[in-house]
Structure formats: structure tokens, C-alpha cells
Structure 1
């Protein structure tokens, strides 16, 4: 809209106005500064629900649009929407809820091991079990409820981080961009991506606010959610170590740093004990029953190369594009001085996706929790005119909705 300034834009769309340079400077205290300057006596209103509602409404609206698009196409094809949203990994989690974890490897007649549900971390199925005993319906409904509520919590956490590092408008747009990434439909499935992202976002927000005990506790829960919780453990642990070395915040970073790996290590040790193979037990589950390991990137590079010369499946091409964009977005993220713990987290997530030597078609999904990569884009979009913001969100939302339909209704493998 020509001639419209930023203040007019924010009034029209209900997005809070940007902070002034003075107020931004007041809240830009890096991790490691004196606690009296970094942690106020009460939480900033920017992270509260009253400030976050535009982000939550916009996120929910964008995701609802993608979900409705999927529902219309699925109905036309006589496919049950609830069954589609609870396929693949969701079925494994529901199996854990119904039957518990395996006690040993199971084998095919030829002697090769069958996939084991011990590869799936316990927090999400545990929450499904609790929710199923509280709400009407079955475990499928409970799983989707947990995932959807976690998605709102994640969007709130993204808003809080964007507001903390930049301004409230950036926070709103950070949540909105996460709603329209290509693999965003998975955020509405019975998967762990939303729960994991919510825990990571709030743990990293706690790091930025130097609330070390909360950061470590949330990191521990994230470590009980996905194996990529190791990325958050590294980010939180390194931030706590820096605070300890700089002799900031007393004993709190010590405790926060010790809490951070507790969840991840607890499950890894538990699996090893259950299988009688020590700490290596969980990694045997990954490598022997799921054929998942890490190499020097040769698998990713060779598969990407074949896409240029051979038959191209849309899912494989999209994962390649998403991986390349993620790598490119990491560069401007490193310019955010206060965001270095987020950059560490995002870099390890990218590395785990890039160096994984199996399931190329799932690499895009593995990058869903790497939300810090969207921060520079959200900050740039926050400075744009309203028509640009609308155009970007509509365009990305359309791509996300169409690709989501393809991913669940036409692609024959897991997303």
C-alpha cells in the first residue's frame, strides 16, 4: 500500500508496532551480562498471552487453511482424514501406548531384525496415554490433541523469541512463517515435531532470559521427545558453560547445564539396560533395525546428484530444496549476536539431517524444529509493507497446502 508507514500497517493487521531503538537496546542484553541487567524482576509483557494472541491467531489460521485444503481433497478421494493424520510414525507411537516397548529385537525369517519401537522416545506417547484417559475418544484423538496443543505452544514460543531478539512484529511473523513451511502439514499430524519444537523454543527462550533452571528442565523434556534432542542439549549446555566460565549467574548455569542432558541420557541408558547391551543399545536399535546412521554426507550428496540426472520425485526434490535453503538461511542467522545459542541448535539440526545416511525423503521433516533459521526472514519481512507480508504468506501458504496434500495423499512413503 503506497505511502503506508509501519505504524499504519501494524494497526491494520493487529500486529504490535515495532519497538523503538531505545527500548530494543534495553532488552538486548546478551547471555553473559550481569543478571541484574538481563533478568528483570518480572517477565516482559512481550512473552505473555495478551501480547502473543496475534501470533497464535495468525498461526492457527494459516494451519487451519492448510488442514482444510487437505480435508477437502481427502474427502473427494474418500480418504479418512483422521486416519491420514495418524499414519506412519504416528502409528508407532500409538503402538507404544497400546502395547508398551519391545523387550528385545524381533527378527524376520531370514534373520534380519524388524524395526523396533525402542527408537521412539517416550514423552509423546506418555502424554497421549494421559490425554486418552482424560478426553473422550480414542488414542488417535488424544495424539492429535497433544500435537495441536503443542503446535500452539510452539508458535507462542517462536513469538516470544522473535520479540525478545527483535520486536513483536518479528515474533508474529516468525510464528506465521513456521506455519507455512513446505512440510507444515506434519505440524497437524500425530507426530512429535510440534511437541519437540515447543520445548526447544521455550528452552532457548529461557537461555536468552538466563533462566538456567527452566532452560535445563525443558531441555531435559525435549531429550525425552526425539533423538535430535541432542542438538538442544549441546546448545543449552554450551550456553551454560559460557556463563560458568564468565562467572555469571552463580550456581544456576551449573544446575541448568547438568539438567539439560538428563532426559536424553536417561532414555538411552534405559534402552541399553532393556536390551542388555549397555549404552550402545539405543544406537544399535537405530542402526540395526532402522538402518539409520551417520556418514560424511556422501549419501545426501549422491542422492541429491541423482535427482539432477534421473527420475525426480517431488518429495525428494522438495527435501533437497529445503535442505539447501536451510543451509543458506544459517548464514544470516549467525549475524544475530544474541542468537548464538539458537544458531548452535539450528546448525546441529542441519548437520544431523545432512549427515544422516538414510530416509532422504524425510530430511525436510527433520528440519521442521530448526525454526531459528526463519528468524532473519521474519525480521526482514517485519520491515515490509502490508501487501508484501500478505503476498508472501499467501504464496508460501498455497505451496505448503498443495505440497501437504501431495505428501499425505499421493506420496507413497512416510513424510
Structure 2
């Protein structure tokens, strides 16, 4: 997937290096998509009667699997004006958990293909994944050498969660907006964020993490203003964009409440998914989901005690903090990407109930692939790439070839 020039940032006169960056990224991305397609074909062939996809599964069935079907329902019938209820009278799973840009864009793209939404979804995901890969390269290239940046793209395009680039999920489109937004902050081109922040907000949840990032970034700019001049207009831009991100972060909840007449419609809908693991009708509170997850996994599932879970999670958080603060390869990426990574992890701690989707929800941390790619050892880089492909097959096999329990939800 990556030839010899990819391993050497100094081969400036090679045929590979003379290709435009978009062409080099395109080659890497295309090879990665071929490998992923092979994995999906193998998963479809291995799908049996116990799998949710059945013994006659095809690629289209996998593209439309799991949450992809909710996006398809949105494209076909929109959002309910009355929240559906379970037999016990609590809010059932419904479309309000998913944002509108991806499903409607896929529907528009599908029109030349007979309105087959699955085709539009596949094309949008693949195209957005390429765009995200190209922006990732450009973004990292501002901080690290060309060879390392291209290897980071290879890790991203062929990594454990690369199957998301070929299914009806909004992740690849969200990553495109996110990477563009981070690149704009890195280059101090704030005007584009007035468009990108709403696009992120209505593609998938997570823009509140970007609001936190902008707040931390503004504090850092103030502290470091003697090293990099901080003018009044930039202060105004950062504050205004932070407020916009907060407003966009709560706008979907307000819209869901207005349409359904239930101010808690969005949160009730999100909590409906948690009942697949923990029965009952819990109320949302910051950090509550993560703490409940620790008790569930370490207590109920693994028959340990929750205090062990608190120690393990606490130690992991300390280790992650140390990596973001002190690890030299991560520091090379710049303060913006480190602040984003920290902000997103805090966001997950605040709102997420940890379960099998945690792997997918960590994908917005993908700029950190740049740090993984920095060591020049060929053995290291090839080893990471192989490990990523093995992880990708493991994920596709469990989520799509098997895909029949709550522990196998993408």
C-alpha cells in the first residue's frame, strides 16, 4: 500500500514525490479501499443464519447495515413529529439521534442512480473519506515532513476503522468538515469556520467538543500572545466562533423539542440506545454515562468490582494526558491538534456510555496518526500498517460477518 518513496521524506526527485499531493493521496486511498472491499466481500461470504445480515448477504446489505438504516429512514420519511414509545411507555429508538446532512446528501447523490439511497451513501462516504485523507495530509504537512504525512494518511485510510469509508455512516463526511476546521484554526483562517461549524453540527454529534477546543485554544493564544501576536479582531473571532459552536451544539436538541413538543426529545432518544445494555430509564447527567459504563463492564460483565474500573480508567486518563503533554512525536503536531484531542476526550467522558461503538467514536482523534508515523523505522511503519489492516479485518468480521449481539455494534 505504500511503496519505497513513501518511507523516505528526502526522495524529492523520485517519480512518486513529483506527483501532486492529491494524486499520491488518491493512490494510497484507492489501494486501501480495494483492501477494504475484499474484507467486506469476505465478511458477506462468512455471514450466516445467526448474523443480522443472513447467509445471502451482499455488499449493499453491509453498506446499509446497522445505523445506516436509520439514515436511510431519514432520507425516505424524515423525522417523527411524535416520539415512538416502547411497550413500557419510554421513548424508543428513533431518527432524532441522527443528524440530517448525510442522509439527505446521499439521497441527492443517488438520484442519477435511480434513487437507490445505498448507492448515494456509498459514494458520499467514499468521496468524503478521500477528501478527509487529502486534508489530513495537508494539515500534517504544515507540521511534519512529507513522507511521515503520507504514512499517516496510509494508517488513516487503511486503519482499524477504515470500513467506515464504505458504509452508510456519517463519520467520513464529519471527518472532512472536522479536518478542514482544524486546518483553518492552524492557519488562522477563521472565516471558513462560520460555515464548517454548522456543517459539523448537523452531520453528527460532537460540535460541543469543538466549542471546548476553541475555548482552550483562545486561552492558549492569550497566554502565548508574546510569541505570536494576538490582535483584537482575532480575539473577537475566537469568542464568536466558540459561541456559535455552543449554539450549534444545542440547536438540534432545541429543534427536536420544537418539532415533537417534548423538550427532552433528543436526550430521551439517545438514552433509548443505552437500554440495550442497562435496562431502565436513566436521566442524562455529565459523566453519568461513563461512570455507569464502568460499573456495568467491570461489575456486571467482567465480574470484577467497580473500584478496579475506576483505577484502570483513571490510570488510562493520566497516561493519555501525559502523552498529549509530553510525548515528543505528539508535540511535533502542534498545540492545536493536541488541544483538539484533549477536548474530544473530555467530551466523550461527559456524554458517552462506553460500549462497542467506542472504537468508532475515537476516529475523530485520527490527526494523531501523524505522531505514529513520525518514527522513520521502516519496520515500525510497516508493522503499524499491518496491525491496522489486521484490526480492520477484526472489526469488519465482528461487526458485519457476525454482527448479532450488543457487543458487535459498530
Please indicate the TM-score interval, normalised by the length of the shorter structure: 0.7 to 0.9
Query: In the TM superposition, what are the counterparts of 1:147-186 in structure 2 within 5 Å?
Result: 147-186=125-164
Aligned equivalents of 2:232, 2:116: Cα separation in 1: 46
Q: Does 1:55 find its partner at 2:25?
A: yes
Structure 1 match to 2:211: 233
CA deviation string 1:171-230 (max 9, x = no partner): 212221123333332232110111111111110011000000113421221111112222
Structure 1 match to 2:260: 275
Q: Does 1:72 find its partner at 2:42?
A: yes
Aligned equivalents of 2:320, 2:165: Cα separation in 1: 21
Q: Does 1:368 find its partner at 2:363?
A: yes
CA pair 205-354 structure 1, distance change in 2 beyond 3 A = same
CA contact (8 A) 1:55 1:173 kept: no
Aligned equivalents of 2:383, 2:144: Cα separation in 1: 22
Out of 179-188 and 10-19, give the one that drifted further.
10-19
**1:63 CA drift (Å):** 3.4
CA pair 215-330 structure 1, distance change in 2 beyond 3 A = farther
Aligned equivalents of 1:123, 1:161: Cα separation in 2: 24
Aligned equivalents of 2:316, 2:131: Cα separation in 1: 25
CA contact (8 A) 1:154 1:194 kept: yes
Aligned equivalents of 1:334, 1:11: Cα separation in 2: 33
TM-score (norm 2): 0.77
SS in 1 for 2:152: helix
Structure 2 match to 1:340: 335
Structure 2 match to 1:248: 231
What root-mean-square deviation, in Å, do the aligned CA atoms of Structure 1 and Structure 2 show? 3.5
Structure 1 match to 2:307: none
Give unmatched runs, 5+ long, in structure 2. Answer: 48-55, 276-281, 305-311
- The match for 1:123 among 85, 90, 101 is 101
CA contact (8 A) 1:75 1:81 kept: no
**1:237 CA drift (Å):** 4.7
**1:304 CA drift (Å):** 4.3
Aligned equivalents of 1:84, 1:264: Cα separation in 2: 31
Aligned equivalents of 2:157, 2:121: Cα separation in 1: 19
Q: Does 1:213 find its partner at 2:156?
A: no
**1:300 CA drift (Å):** 3.3
CA deviation string 1:104-141 (max 9, x = no partner): 21123332221121111111112112212344450111
Residue-pair matches, total: 367
Query: In the TM superposition, what are the counterparts of 1:389-408 in structure 2 within 5 Å?
Result: 389-408=381-400
SS in 1 for 2:357: helix
Give unmatched runs, 5+ long, in structure 1. Answer: 1-9, 21-45, 312-320
CA contact (8 A) 2:99 2:204 kept: yes
**1:322 CA drift (Å):** 12
Out of 245-254 and 65-74, give the one that drifted further.
245-254
CA pair 239-356 structure 1, distance change in 2 beyond 3 A = closer
CA pair 67-329 structure 1, distance change in 2 beyond 3 A = farther
